[in-house]
């Protein structure tokens, strides 16, 4: 094999396995929570914390109602 082919294979192997060697998942920092007084648009339950600043023209859902409304997740 030529040196170029060996170099390409070596670089490809580094790219493929980088996510397993990288310890960035251990440095996860949770998003700051926004405190306020809101009500779920579906069931009316009180919501005191959100991981985002809600837009006044969009509905806000509690965890239970959001779980019912969100699109199904891809399963492996």
pLDDT tens digits for range 9-65: 776 666 655 555 555 556 778 889 999 999 999 999 999 999 999 999 999 999 999
In the numeric block, which tokens belong to residue 53? 């600043």
Please enumerate, as own/partner, the contacts of 42-46 that have beta carbons within 8 Å and a separation of 24 or more. Answer: 42/69
| Helices (H), ranges, the chain | 3-21, 63-69
| Cα–Cα distance measured from residue 42 to residue 60, given in angstroms and rounded to the nearest whole number | 8
pLDDT of residue 2: 77
pLDDT of residue 57: 95
């Amino acid at each position: 094999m030529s040196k170029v082919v060996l170099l390409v294979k070596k670089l490809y192997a580094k790219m493929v396995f980088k996510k397993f060697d990288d310890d960035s998942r251990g440095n996860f920092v949770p998003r700051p929570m926004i405190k306020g007084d809101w009500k779920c648009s579906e069931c009316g339950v009180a919501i005191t914390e959100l991981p985002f600043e809600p837009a006044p023209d969009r509905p806000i859902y509690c965890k239970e109602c959001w779980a019912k409304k969100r699109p199904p997740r891809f399963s492996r």
